[in-house]
Structure 1
Amino acid sequence: MRAPHAPKARRTRRGRALRTGLKGWGGVAAMAVVCALAVAFVLLLPLTQSSGEGESTGGPGVAHGVQARAEDDPCLDPQIKKAPEKQTLSPSSADGDTIKKIKAREGEKRKLIVGVDQNSYRWGYRDPNNDEGGNTLEGFDIDLVHRIAQEILGDPNAVQFKAIPTNQRIPAIQSGRVDMVVRTMTINCSRMADVAFSAPYFKTGQQVLAPKSSPITGPDGSLADKKVCTAASSTANSELKARQKAGKLPKTTDITSTVVPNQLDCLVRIQLGEVDAVVTDGALAASQAAQDPTVELKGDAPFTTEYYGVAMKLDADDLVRRVNQILVDYRKDTANGWQASYDKWLSATLGTDSAKSEPPAPEYLRKS
């Protein structure tokens, strides 16, 4: 399920351009409480931290087909479909209209408004055991948000966080509720009709998460007659539909009855025995396995290759360029940049060697 498309004129313009150790959280009961709180509060934010999404004509009896075009669906362009992570603008530190409007905000409103997750362990979450008593968002994605705010507004804490469900990431950007989304969001060609992406900042892929006692071995025949949970509008949901249509997944695998707004909901569904497995990004699945020692990743490696990017409005070219420049500098900063954030938040769940998670050297194939 994808979010509604942007207006045709905007999509057409875009198409032309495209062508050229959390302690104390373990256990079923605690996770169920967290999930319930997430549902209750997810749409009540923003949380502001001062400290820290062809025409056809003809008369009666005449039918005219509408031919899909690459400007309406970037996935029709083979190069874009093959490497969507390369379809972004070259870096720049210049201020354009979008950034000037952000900087023009006054007083308490002079903040970068960012859609994030508050329930993804070690990515964007609240730790009830930290010094803030769970009142502060933290994690790998949150570190990146603070860096972007520092570079644009001169203050890493000039951020207004808004908790956005998985299926509301694109609508939040299109409606202007947020300036950007930094929420483990995979860059793919279908989303490029609706939002603009930065260069990738993380490499991952889809994996199956299931109870350790389960006979499930991966995205294969072992999922026959099993119920699988995914988040709405997620890459996992789209990938499973495609694999089932192509005959790579048993027809008896139920991938439609349990589609939830947030990924964490899927872990709770497993814990409650309502589903047999979850499919999500391996990076997120590893964090969920760390939260609940009764589940594990199935299969030796991810069965897709995907990249996370920062998502922004289609016409926010100057903001895309600035974020890309920030990402270049963030990767170079060995003391307080990408590697330091990985070591702090992800090494415990993904391993001390970050090589498999590092994004490729960026390419900037989008020209305007």
Structure 2
Amino acid sequence: MAIRRVRAGLKGWGGVGAMAAVCALALAFVLLLPLTQSPGPDGAGTGGPGIAEGVQTRAVECRAPEKQTLAPSRADGPTIEAIKNRIGARRKLVVGVDQNSYRWGYRDPNNDGAQLEGFDIDLVHRIAADILGDPNAVQFKAIPTDQRIPAIRSGRVDMVVRTMTITCDRLGEVAFSAPYFRTGQQVLAAKSSSVTGYDRSLAGQRICTAAGSTAYTRLAKDRAAGLLAATADISTTVPNQLDCLVRLQLGEVDAVVTDGALAASQAAQDPTVELKGAAFTTEYYGVAMKRDADDLVRRVNRVLVDYRGSGWQTSYDRWLSATLGKDSAASKPPAPQYLRTS
């Protein structure tokens, strides 16, 4: 009954957008299941109350965070050996991903088995093939935005491949690969909205961001510095970014701020919303791992060297060209630099 009421309330937003909202609400419980029920890579349950507790971070001197990574190497080390030594059905790469970001990591109900697919998922399969010799030797775990770092630090996952921006703050808690995608923060709102972009038109508007996202961090800093109108309401945060689209469709917020690459995919789901203005930051997605997993970081960087030459463009053409345009130049990561030495 609840879902029928929501569906009825969404009339006027367009069939695709309404269904996106209903599906996202229905997925809320599914997204939380891996946090409480899934075993960690060692087979022990690691979900539960302790996972979101604060952790002490290592201080990191940070300049150009996308360059603070280790040089590529194919050599196995203790982290990779531990992955390879898993027995039987557990001999898999355990990866935190999204399952409701259209074209990035999502389940298409029209496909057989509704398997996870998308740009991030293609990269996961490539890494698994290199480390374990089997692109399907992967255990996917759906991780909410604000649980990405706790999932890595607790050992619930070997890595996170989930449109995760490399930042100086995050480098104090996890290690990143070299960038595999370039994007920037952008505003999403209804086509009929008076919002024109990241500007004065946001005054008095209710803005939604994902908890733990770089979007919220930027909005909070800009408002404190007087660069964002003091009347802009940034109090609405959600576990997963797609929930912001649902809030927008329900009329609970007036605008969404998120990575432009994700916003474009959401606009493709709902023809009544659109990107407003240009991107106002430059950000890079990276694969996140434990800080002491040096061999795994180096191995992923080795995979990315090959992937940029063979695989990246194919994946872009398949998943993202329809939402970001056929010209991928603006989305390609820069030539990698490896400034981290230890």
Normalised to the residue count of structure 2, the TM-score between the two structures is 0.88
Distance of aligned partners of 1:145 and 1:26 in 2 relative to their CA distance in 1, 3 Å threshold: farther
- Verify the 8 A CA contact 1:283 1:350 in the aligned structure 2: yes
2:248 is equivalent to residue 274 of structure 1: no
- Verify the 8 A CA contact 1:148 1:323 in the aligned structure 2: yes
Give the counterpart letter for 1:185 in structure 2: M
2:19 is equivalent to residue 41 of structure 1: no
Task: String of CA shifts for 1:142-176, please: whole Å, max 9, x gaps.
Answer: 00000000000000000000000000000000000
Shift of 1:32: 2.5
2:5 is equivalent to residue 31 of structure 1: no
SS at match of 1:255: strand
For structure 2, the residue ranges without an aligned partner over 5 or more in a row are: 1-13, 40-45, 47-56
Aligned residue-pair number: 311
- Verify the 8 A CA contact 1:225 1:254 in the aligned structure 2: yes
2:331 is equivalent to residue 357 of structure 1: yes
Q: Identity over the aligned pairs, expressed in percent?
A: 72
SS at match of 1:268: helix
1:195-214 equivalences in 2 (<5 Å): 195-214=174-193
For residue 182 of structure 1, what is the aligned residue in structure 2?
161
For residue 268 of structure 2, what is the aligned residue in structure 1?
290
For residue 159 of structure 1, what is the aligned residue in structure 2?
138
Q: Which residue, 198, 202, 208 being the options, matches 1:229?
A: 208
- Verify the 8 A CA contact 2:165 2:283 in the aligned structure 1: yes
Task: String of CA shifts for 1:65-92, please: whole Å, max 9, x gaps.
Answer: xxxxxx9443xx4xx24x1000000000
2:78 is equivalent to residue 97 of structure 1: yes
Q: Which residue, 299, 308, 319 being the options, matches 1:322?
A: 299
- Structure 1 moving runs of 4+ over 2 Å: 25-29, 71-74
In the alignment, the residues of structure 2 paired with residue 206 and residue 329 of structure 1 have an alpha-carbon distance, to the nearest angstrom, of 28
Q: Which residue, 267, 273, 289 being the options, matches 1:312?
A: 289
In the alignment, the residues of structure 1 paired with residue 226 and residue 59 of structure 2 have an alpha-carbon distance, to the nearest angstrom, of 24
- Verify the 8 A CA contact 1:200 1:308 in the aligned structure 2: yes
SS at match of 1:241: helix
Q: Which residue, 119, 122, 145 being the options, matches 2:103?
A: 122
In the alignment, the residues of structure 2 paired with residue 114 and residue 105 of structure 1 have an alpha-carbon distance, to the nearest angstrom, of 15
In the alignment, the residues of structure 1 paired with residue 106 and residue 275 of structure 2 have an alpha-carbon distance, to the nearest angstrom, of 21
For residue 86 of structure 1, what is the aligned residue in structure 2?
67
Q: Which residue, 121, 132, 151 being the options, matches 1:172?
A: 151
In the alignment, the residues of structure 2 paired with residue 339 and residue 28 of structure 1 have an alpha-carbon distance, to the nearest angstrom, of 28
Task: String of CA shifts for 1:105-148, please: whole Å, max 9, x gaps.
Answer: 0100000000000000000000111233x2x0000000000000
Give the counterpart letter for 1:232 in structure 2: A
SS at match of 2:256: strand
Give the counterpart letter for 2:95 in structure 1: V
Give the counterpart letter for 2:116 in structure 1: L
Shift of 1:31: 1.8
Point out the structure with max Rg over C-alpha.
1
SS at match of 2:33: coil
In the alignment, the residues of structure 1 paired with residue 59 and residue 20 of structure 2 have an alpha-carbon distance, to the nearest angstrom, of 39
- Verify the 8 A CA contact 1:73 1:190 in the aligned structure 2: no
SS at match of 2:139: strand
For residue 52 of structure 2, what is the aligned residue in structure 1?
none
For residue 367 of structure 1, what is the aligned residue in structure 2?
341
In the alignment, the residues of structure 1 paired with residue 79 and residue 333 of structure 2 have an alpha-carbon distance, to the nearest angstrom, of 27
In the alignment, the residues of structure 2 paired with residue 30 and residue 201 of structure 1 have an alpha-carbon distance, to the nearest angstrom, of 31
2:150 is equivalent to residue 150 of structure 1: no
Shift of 1:27: 3.3
- Verify the 8 A CA contact 2:17 2:269 in the aligned structure 1: no
- Verify the 8 A CA contact 1:28 1:272 in the aligned structure 2: no
In the alignment, the residues of structure 1 paired with residue 267 and residue 59 of structure 2 have an alpha-carbon distance, to the nearest angstrom, of 36
For residue 7 of structure 2, what is the aligned residue in structure 1?
none
For structure 1, the residue ranges without an aligned partner over 5 or more in a row are: 1-24, 48-52, 54-70
- For the aligned residue pairs, the C-alpha RMSD in angstroms reads 1.7
Shift of 1:26: 4.5
- Verify the 8 A CA contact 1:210 1:295 in the aligned structure 2: yes
